[in-house]
């Protein structure tokens, strides 16, 4: 991580309870166990699924923190393919753990990103760029993909461009790296094929995980990878790509491009997906459109481009009949309920960690 100009503590994570004071640089076994338990709960609750048995959580030795009254405690998640370290603040009395995020405001992150050869959706010459660190197996990424590629691009048209970078969380998403490699194989020949594959995967993650006629029966991992490769080959045929070249790329499963993108994301402190950068402004999680539009509008105005006007809510059709409307299939004596009152903007869905 480069020089950190700003440190923001954004979430009071948990209260650990009473604990004997441990010397600097070391936590006692009971406190380490509580931290591991809380971190596991935090990750699983954000992903709506348990961590795979292959993932181990290790509470590392304390480090000095710049925040008065707190030490820095690294927590490492690892399996046989990937290691990821999350950082927390722990109070000197060892009772309170805080999750925090660091921001480097010395320069815009986009200036340090390697975007060469990445597929672009939208206007390639647009002054505002949406960069999404994506994971093809992440459920929150699928929700954000739907929003970005349908509503946002439709509303903003040629004012923005969309670029995806790879950040598969392989510790909890075992086929995500393989899917990213397959997508990049398509991108070597066609950006359109890449985007079509991304649309297909994000709309049908369950088709990879489960049998189509047995939705509760999960496919073995080897079969899930075969499904991914077939989907990739199908996209290649759809866009008339060089089949032999594509097949060789799929079989090689060269992860270098994906791993380089993951390493780049690590340098920006990315720990969850989706993580999105819009002309220097960053957010993580599946934000609803009413929270994404102000970010895009600020970015457009900062480069001298007028944002599109707000969308008007459709007005109900006028009718002279004052009786409540009844559905054709409604039971006698029942009516269609009145529209719900306007609700405040929805909170973003938690990111996948």
User: Does 166 share its domain with 294?
Assistant: yes
The 3-class SS string of the chain reads: CCCCCEEEEEEEEEECCCCCCCCCCCCCHHHHHHHHHHHHHHHHHHHCCCCCCCCEEEECCCECCCCCCEEEEEEEEECCCCEEEEEEEEECCCCEEEEEEEECCCCCHHHHCCCCCCCEEECCCCCEEEEEEECCCCHHHHHHHHHHHHHHHHHHHHHEEEEEEECCCCCCCCCHHHHHHHHHHHHCCCHHHHHHHHHHHHHCHHHHHEECCEEEEECCHHHHHHHHHHHHHHHHHHCCCCHHHHHHHHHHCCCHHHHHHHHHHHHCCCCCECEEEECCEEEECECCHHHHHHHHHHHHHHCCCCCCCCCCCCCCCCCCCCCCCCCCCCCCCCCCCCCCCCCCCCCCECCEC
User: Does 189 share its domain with 211?
Assistant: yes
pLDDT of residue 89: 92
User: Does 250 share its domain with 292?
Assistant: yes
Write down the pTM of the prediction. Answer: 0.67
CATH value at residue 282: 3.40.30.10
Task: Tell whether 192 is covered by a domain.
Answer: yes
User: Does 91 share its domain with 113?
Assistant: no
Task: Tell whether 33 is covered by a domain.
Answer: yes
pLDDT of residue 10: 35
Using alpha carbons, list the distances in angstroms from residue 203 to 92, 107, 120, 153, 172: 46, 35, 19, 17, 19
Task: Tell whether 310 is covered by a domain.
Answer: no
Domain boundary pick from 103, 130, 164: 103
Task: Tell whether 92 is covered by a domain.
Answer: yes
Task: Tell whether 333 is covered by a domain.
Answer: no
User: Does 174 share its domain with 208?
Assistant: yes
pLDDT of residue 353: 58
User: Does 247 share its domain with 278?
Assistant: yes
pLDDT of residue 350: 58
pLDDT of residue 7: 29
Task: Tell whether 321 is covered by a domain.
Answer: no
pLDDT of residue 20: 39
Task: Tell whether 46 is covered by a domain.
Answer: yes
Domain of residue 18 covers 6-103
Domain boundary pick from 70, 103, 136: 103
User: Does 147 share its domain with 290?
Assistant: yes
Listed as ranges, residues in the chain with pLDDT below 70 are: 1-25, 47-48, 101-106, 312-353
User: Does 38 share its domain with 132?
Assistant: no
User: Does 131 share its domain with 96?
Assistant: no
User: Does 99 share its domain with 184?
Assistant: no
pLDDT of residue 314: 52
Domain boundary pick from 65, 87, 103: 103
pLDDT of residue 352: 62
Task: Indicate the number of domains in the chain.
Answer: 2
Task: Tell whether 133 is covered by a domain.
Answer: yes
User: Does 56 share its domain with 184?
Assistant: no
CA separation for the pair 203, 175 (Å, rounded): 16
User: Does 119 share its domain with 237?
Assistant: yes
């Amino acid at each position: 991580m480069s020089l950190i100009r700003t440190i923001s503590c954004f979430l009071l994570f948990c209260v650990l309870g009473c604990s004997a004071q441990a010397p600097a640089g070391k936590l006692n076994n009971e406190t380490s166990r509580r931290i591991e338990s809380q971190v596991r709960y935090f990750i699983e609750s954000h992903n709506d699924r348990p961590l795979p048995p292959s993932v181990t959580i290790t509470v590392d030795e304390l480090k000095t923190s710049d925040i008065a009254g707190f030490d820095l405690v690294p927590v490492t998640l690892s399996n046989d393919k990937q290691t990821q370290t999350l950082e927390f603040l722990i109070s000197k009395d060892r009772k309170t753990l805080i999750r925090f995020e660091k921001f480097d405001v010395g320069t815009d992150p986009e200036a340090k990103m390697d975007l060469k050869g990445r597929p672009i959706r939208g206007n390639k010459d647009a002054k505002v760029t949406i960069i999404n660190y994506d994971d093809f197996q992440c459920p929150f990424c699928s929700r954000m993909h739907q929003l970005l590629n349908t509503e946002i691009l439709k509303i903003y048209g040629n004012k923005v461009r969309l670029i995806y970078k790879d950040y598969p969380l392989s510790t909890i998403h075992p086929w995500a790296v393989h899917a990213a490699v397959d997508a990049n194989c398509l991108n070597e020949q066609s950006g359109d094929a890449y985007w079509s594959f991304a649309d297909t995967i994000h709309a049908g993650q369950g088709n990879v995980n489960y049998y189509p006629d047995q939705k509760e029966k999960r496919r073995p991992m080897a079969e899930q990878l075969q499904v991914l490769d077939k989907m990739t080959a199908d996209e290649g045929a759809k866009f008339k790509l060089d089949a032999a070249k594509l097949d060789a790329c799929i079989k090689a499963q060269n992860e270098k491009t994906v791993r380089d993108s993951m390493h780049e994301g690590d340098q920006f402190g990315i720990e969850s997906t989706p993580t999105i950068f819009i002309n220097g402004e960053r957010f993580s999680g599946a934000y609803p459109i009413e929270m994404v539009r102000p970010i895009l509008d600020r970015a457009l105005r900062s480069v001298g481009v007028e944002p599109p006007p707000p969308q008007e809510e459709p007005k109900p059709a006028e009718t002279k009949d004052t009786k409540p409307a009844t559905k054709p299939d409604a039971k006698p004596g029942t009516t269609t309920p009145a529209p719900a009152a306007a609700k405040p903007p929805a909170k973003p869905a938690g990111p996948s960690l």
